[in-house]
Structure 1
Amino acid sequence: MKIYDVEGFPNPLRVRMALAEKDASDKVTFIAVDVMKKEHRSDAFLAMNPLASVPVLALDDGTYIAECSAIIEYIDHTFEGISLTGTTAKERAIISMMQRRAELMVLDAVATYFHHATDGLGPELEIDQNKAWGNKQGEKALAGFKYFNTILSNQAYVAGEAFTVADITLFAGLGFADFAKIAVPNEYTHLLNWRAKVAQRPSVK
């Protein structure tokens, strides 16, 4: 198994955290993709993932799996350890719902703000920017912070009382928000306390 990614980017972080939670980081080979040199837009990379995004999981049989949720689901069902995606129908549905909300309301919103309302990765990579749309997504991210602060006031983790892929996604989203300079308001203590707790997990350290 190989994973094509960029160490430190938010989506690759999600997959690396999942592997660490399953104690399987040594079961894959990481291959660095040089985004600044547009390697992710090369014909060879587009053959693996036409959306030109990292990470991409390459299986030994020649199958390529992109999209973090799909890669993490494969990891979760391949390796032993805690369940990240749920075991019962109800658990799987709730985790999937909350994971998607963490993507849409925080991680994706922050990413859109970063790529459209700031210099992002520079003029050669950031084409067709729409600053107004980017700023609107920055507001959406702030609303997402408020939503998850409320959720975490009533339960230990994003999808309930157990750590799951939904927590991984939200944690990566907050890290990206730091980088994009979208601060979590200090009054969102439930969200900030949850983040500090997750930061102590071995998969983060």
Structure 2
Amino acid sequence: MRIYDFEGLPNPARVRIALAEKGITDKVEFITINVPNGEHRKPEFLTKNPTAAIPVLELDDGTTISECTAITEYLDHMFDGISLTGKTPKQRAIIHMMQRRGERNLLDAAVDYFHHATPGLGPELETYQNREWGEKQRERALSGMRYFNTVLSAQPYIAGDSFSMADITVFAGLAFADFAKIDIPLDLKNLRVWREHIAKRPSIAG
């Protein structure tokens, strides 16, 4: 298997954490796609993912799978170990629901704020910006933080009693929020404690 990514960006980080949680990092060849230099928009990469997004998982038979959720689903069901996407129908539904909330209301919001309301990756790559909309996404990211702080007042993990794909997404969202200079409000103590706890997992702490 091959993973096309750029280490340090939030979505590649999500898949790298999933690989580490499953204990299969050594089964993957990583191929760097230099996003800051626009390599993800070149024809040779677009044949693997027409949306020009990383990461992309390429199987040995040539099949390519993009989108972090789809990649994690494949890895989770292909290999033994910790379940990241749930074992029962109820678990799977709740994990997917919460991971989507983390994606939409935190990670994607922080990313959109960065691309629209800051210089982002520079004028060559940021060909369209809407600052007003970007600022709205900052508000959405902060609202998402408040929501997850409330969730974590009643349970230890984002989707319930066990670590899952949803925790990976929210953790990556907070990491990118840091990068975009969207600070976690000081009063969100549950979210802060959860983050400190998750950061100690071997898949993240290294």
TM-score, with length taken from structure 1? 0.99
Quote the offset at 1:127 in angstroms. 1.1
User: Does 1:136 find its partner at 2:111?
Assistant: no
Structure 1 stretches of 4+ with a deviation exceeding 2 A read none
- Counterpart residue number, 2:55: 55
Whole-angstrom CA distance in 2 between matches of 1:182 and 1:34: 25
User: Does 1:100 find its partner at 2:97?
Assistant: no
Within 5 Å, give how 1:52-91 maps onto structure 2.
Answer: 52-91=52-91
- Counterpart residue number, 2:155: 155
Whole-angstrom CA distance in 2 between matches of 1:38 and 1:111: 17
Whole-angstrom CA distance in 1 between matches of 2:25 and 2:94: 27
Quote the offset at 1:35 in angstroms. 1.2
Whole-angstrom CA distance in 2 between matches of 1:104 and 1:142: 12
Quote the offset at 1:36 in angstroms. 2.0
- Counterpart residue number, 2:27: 27
Q: Which amino acid aligns with 2:190?
A: H
Q: Which amino acid aligns with 2:188?
A: Y
Within 5 Å, give how 1:183-198 maps onto structure 2.
Answer: 183-198=183-198
Quote the offset at 1:130 in angstroms. 0.4
Q: What SS does the corresponding residue of 2:30 show, helix, strand or coil?
A: strand
- Once the two structures are superposed, residues 147-178 of structure 1 have per-residue CA deviations (whole angstroms, 9 ceiling, x without a partner) of 00000000000000000000000000000000
Q: Which amino acid aligns with 2:52?
A: A
Q: What SS does the corresponding residue of 1:4 show, helix, strand or coil?
A: strand
Q: Which amino acid aligns with 2:196?
A: A
Quote the offset at 1:79 in angstroms. 1.3
TM-score, with length taken from structure 2? 0.99
